[in-house]
Structure 1
């Protein structure tokens, strides 16, 4: 039933006010918070209150709503994406709405960045040349695969990347990422434009659309930003790469329908992300971004054979008598990196204080990590049979880094138990005998790190990952303790001053290539000064014992020291360090890549830099003589960062296989140390603290001497304090296990 129509003349007419009105309330009504009828010249309320009616409010302009702006931004992004995808490939078109690839690689007009000169890059070509020539230079791609690929990171697949590069199908952000990273390896003084390339490439990566190419670009950019000292940016870029990796299911085995080469490429890309994740969290309290138990993937294969399935609790490396079936270099690095991640979680949880057992107990977390290290070393003994085998291997950089991580984990585990003074190791208790062994192992592995890095500097195939600086710095913190130890000649800590001087020089040398490791050298200098002050403070006390079993972190022994012990600090440097230092003038980090052909890996001839000395892998006697002019004073190796001693004639601790005590006494805790009471020095084995037959315990001799002094002088002496309250300081503050 239809409604009756109403005539328009029956509607209520709209009342029209003739009086002018304001758009905002008057000042008096706003102050009283009452309704205002906004009449002029005075509203009704102001007439009632008999006050002045002032209209001074200005209406605010209403802008577009948030959803309107978001829709507009999405539309602009979509148009820009279509503009990039619809780039014409015909060189005959008169006008092109899209820039050529060379123009896309150029920074925006607001920056003053210029292309590098012709010997090191590609100049803007004439307009008459076809657009397909405006692409990443072949020399840059050759340099990347000759210098960076697989040393130690496998980010790109060489065959697929070269094919796509020849057909002009490489994404712009990937080309810019390769160029930004490789430019540092082809010029003695990388221009600031390299960092600008990296920033523009990061803006071009669409992190909302995960892809293999996007993940590869982010990994390359992470290295570039860290090389310029932008640690915070590098960490955030890696976090985006990890997110893409998880979104692409790279942590799980790919379907069998995919080609074998593509499956292996996906595996190696994931393991690169995994290794970088562990490296960039070393030394910090940050958790790793990828959990071991979430990985369902095979290890990197060797040749045409696929690797074994990854075991999150290890071991993943097994000994094989057949060298042809032994583990490959990438698998070795993955497994030792897994152990490094386990060590990181152990230390972040409080170390020995967060453990459920004593560190010398077989069920303690420290003992379990030590067992995994022993299994890894047993499975790699063929690859590390000798120094010649290591530095002559095609994957020498990868193997060297794996070996350095092996020594690094030992240093990280045992470094918290280093005594400030060797007098702390006197006694026959179980904790003291274990601490003697821990101190010996810690110094042996720290010495091996310093010797390996020094030997590798003279090898032609070695590249330098940034983690090497963290290994050197960790070894330096161990040698800081040994500088203040007094013992016999030839003991494991006897050459600590020389090793520390060498490590300071190595960090100065490495920071020219990786500005992100600058804080490692600064931290080592700070720890050296704080430790010297701590030794002086303890020397002034009657009883100088500082138990270390109750500390959660190694740096807790230095009260008031505010340093970041992480390998990567979440800080972006203001400006990169210049390379034109006195020790590195006119010296390239790598040889120029202009002679490298673009014909694949097989035709690339690797020649070492002419400024490097040709190595002698046999290491004859006297070929690497050690300078005797290094003082034992800490100021000697902190004053001149470029005056470093030469390596020793024969490596004593970088042995293959590794031996914790390569000849001579391992540790003599009973030797006179920093003004302690004189006692008969007896060598104590690393595995126990029992003295030999016919020898008297020097600790008991000290007590007898104190007792004689007490009887001769009369009254209480240091013996009462030593046997009373002083003993509470000797024993570690740990809970006793219930049987």
Structure 2
């Protein structure tokens, strides 16, 4: 099989399993036309193949999937940096597309600084091409229209990626909402009296309700991502004392109001046909971001930090926020797990972070005095572990998150009483406690195999006797979870493995990609989790 055949099979995998779920980095018809004409740069082909390999379900990739991904990704990056066309002054967006794909690969493999650099480069090149503004000119040929549509999807995909990786302490996004003067996607043709919205207009309550204003599900997902970024800034990065959050004029209350307004819009945009997987993927993303933002907005730890800034916080308000947080955590876990079970591909590793955040809330409620609530939290926490274990076949950082959640769950015997009790108890948290509590809410930290929780785990600083301090322990956390709730990843490569041990892309022709589901085979007694992509997609 030659290189072009590999690229062709990678294209089939990519557009089935990754495209528009939710990143719309390409226009499918335009991409295929360019591919047929030989107009796809080699560095983009390699980044494309590196991404597609992750979604191949062939058993022969099991033991070498990450090294194969890294080989193609490294070759792509070297071509970009060495080729005069890579970072030249061309108006072509291929380098932005490649950088975005490579950034995702680096981030999920634990190479955070490399990912941060590539995301920054992709954003800067897009800004240099003024992709954050409506394009000038009046051309109406098919190619011009397709290129405009591709650029629109590409820029907003960069916005999503930028907001996702900035779910962290002290990590500001590169794209500002006020700089976005590009219309949001509408997902359909517009009528004579209809007009698209810009992001700032969608977030402005005086504008978004006007008759004739249209936004699609993909545009709404951008709006929810913007509100998530605003919430991260409010709850995780703003230390100054602001208007009391329980007051209607506060930023806290304003975010909640905007969330509910966009939620109503999302509910009215549900896809008409179950076969509309693209529309459903954006609806699932929108609802996931809605629940995640509420979880962060009302998380007991982050509320505890805020309570230290005010002399008196109404007890009834705090209780209402914690109840709201748990309600959204339950809905978030249910949504993500049910969407996967229904066959909707949850492609971004960001969903693992969403499950982690919800899982921390379940863990905190595990040791409360309400026994039925504790039992319910136990079931949802077990479901969270199972999801992270299954999705780790695709994303390395999922089992990092699983380890972190398990460690956190063990310590919640202590944390529950402090975070769910009177404000004065918050001061009893140690610096180690603060590090743990911050880490499990920090997506950027959870991309790092050597995160603070991993360091604590390695020296067994956890004070509970039955704490599992090694990945793959069969012991469950000290909670009501069942003993068989383990998170063992079979066939995955350790993130601490030497990153230079990669495979030369030239030898990969012996292992063609395939979108066919894996078949049963003799694995020497070792059972592999088989992610049956095609059957899942065919079940809807």
TM-score bin, normalised by smaller chain = 0.7 to 0.9
Shift of 1:566: 2.1
Q: Deviations over 1:434-482 (max 9, x none)?
A: 1121111101000001111221222123333211111111111111111
Shift of 1:338: 0.8
Give the Cα–Cα distance (whole angstroms) in 1 for the partners of residues 302 and 235 of structure 2: 15
| 1:467 aligned residue (314, 330, 350) | 350
Moved more, 374-383 or 555-564: 555-564
| 1:225 aligned residue (100, 106, 124) | 106
Q: State whether structure 2 residue 200 is matched by structure 1 residue 311.
A: yes
SS at match of 2:200: coil
1:545-584 alignment runs, 5 A limit: 545-547=422-424, 558-559=433-434, 561=436, 564=439, 565-569=441-445, 580=491
Do the aligned partners of residues 547 and 398 (structure 1) sit closer, same or farther apart at CA in structure 2, a change above 3 Å counting?
farther
Q: Deviations over 1:154-187 (max 9, x none)?
A: 1012122111111212111011111111112123
Q: Retained in 2: the 8 A contact 1:419–1:548?
A: no
- Report what 1:666 is aligned to: none
Q: State whether structure 2 residue 275 is matched by structure 1 residue 396.
A: no
More RCO (CA 8 Å, sep 6+)? 2
Do the aligned partners of residues 176 and 538 (structure 1) sit closer, same or farther apart at CA in structure 2, a change above 3 Å counting?
closer
Q: Retained in 2: the 8 A contact 1:232–1:570?
A: no
Q: Retained in 2: the 8 A contact 1:476–1:524?
A: yes
Give the Cα–Cα distance (whole angstroms) in 2 for the partners of residues 566 and 292 of structure 1: 22
Moved more, 297-306 or 284-293: 297-306
Shift of 1:609: 4.2
| 1:178 aligned residue (20, 36, 48) | 48
Do the aligned partners of residues 270 and 383 (structure 1) sit closer, same or farther apart at CA in structure 2, a change above 3 Å counting?
same
- Report what 1:286 is aligned to: 171
Give the Cα–Cα distance (whole angstroms) in 1 for the partners of residues 436 and 448 of structure 2: 22
Q: Deviations over 1:636-677 (max 9, x none)?
A: xxxxxxxxxxxxxxxxxxxxxxxxxxxxxxxxxxxxxxxxxx
- Report what 2:242 is aligned to: 356
Q: Retained in 1: the 8 A contact 2:100–2:122?
A: yes
Q: Which runs of 5 or more residues in structure 1 are unaligned?
A: 1-121, 125-133, 582-590, 596-606, 618-739
Q: Retained in 1: the 8 A contact 2:99–2:122?
A: yes
Q: Retained in 2: the 8 A contact 1:314–1:372?
A: yes
| 1:532 aligned residue (413, 427, 430) | 413
CA RMSD of aligned residues (A): 3.7
- Report what 1:454 is aligned to: 337
1:403-422 alignment runs, 5 A limit: 403-416=287-300
Q: Retained in 2: the 8 A contact 1:330–1:398?
A: yes
Q: Deviations over 1:109-129 (max 9, x none)?
A: xxxxxxxxxxxxx347xxxxx
1:200-599 alignment runs, 5 A limit: 200-206=75-81, 208-209=87-88, 211-258=92-139, 259-305=144-190, 307-311=196-200, 314-315=203-204, 318=208, 327-350=215-238, 354-384=240-270, 394-416=278-300, 431-487=314-370, 489=372, 495-534=376-415, 545-547=422-424, 558-559=433-434, 561=436, 564=439, 565-569=441-445, 580=491, 592-593=514-515
Give the Cα–Cα distance (whole angstroms) in 1 for the partners of residues 416 and 343 of structure 2: 42
How many equivalent pairs are there?
A: 443
Shift of 1:336: 0.5
Highest Rg: 1 or 2?
1
Q: Retained in 2: the 8 A contact 1:320–1:379?
A: no
- Report what 1:167 is aligned to: 37
- Report what 1:140 is aligned to: 10
Shift of 1:260: 2.9
Shift of 1:233: 2.2
Give the Cα–Cα distance (whole angstroms) in 1 for the partners of residues 344 and 390 of structure 2: 18
Do the aligned partners of residues 156 and 612 (structure 1) sit closer, same or farther apart at CA in structure 2, a change above 3 Å counting?
closer
Give the Cα–Cα distance (whole angstroms) in 1 for the partners of residues 361 and 332 of structure 2: 11
Q: Retained in 1: the 8 A contact 2:112–2:448?
A: yes
Shift of 1:212: 0.7
Do the aligned partners of residues 204 and 555 (structure 1) sit closer, same or farther apart at CA in structure 2, a change above 3 Å counting?
farther
Moved more, 441-450 or 480-489: 480-489
SS at match of 1:205: helix
Give the Cα–Cα distance (whole angstroms) in 2 for the partners of residues 573 and 558 of structure 1: 19
Q: Retained in 2: the 8 A contact 1:472–1:503?
A: yes
- Report what 2:28 is aligned to: 158
Do the aligned partners of residues 313 and 500 (structure 1) sit closer, same or farther apart at CA in structure 2, a change above 3 Å counting?
same
Give the Cα–Cα distance (whole angstroms) in 2 for the partners of residues 294 and 570 of structure 1: 29
TM-score (normalised: structure 1)? 0.54
Do the aligned partners of residues 419 and 248 (structure 1) sit closer, same or farther apart at CA in structure 2, a change above 3 Å counting?
closer
Q: Retained in 1: the 8 A contact 2:167–2:232?
A: yes
Q: Which runs of 5 or more residues in structure 2 are unaligned?
A: 451-487, 493-512, 518-530
Give the Cα–Cα distance (whole angstroms) in 2 for the partners of residues 280 and 144 of structure 1: 22
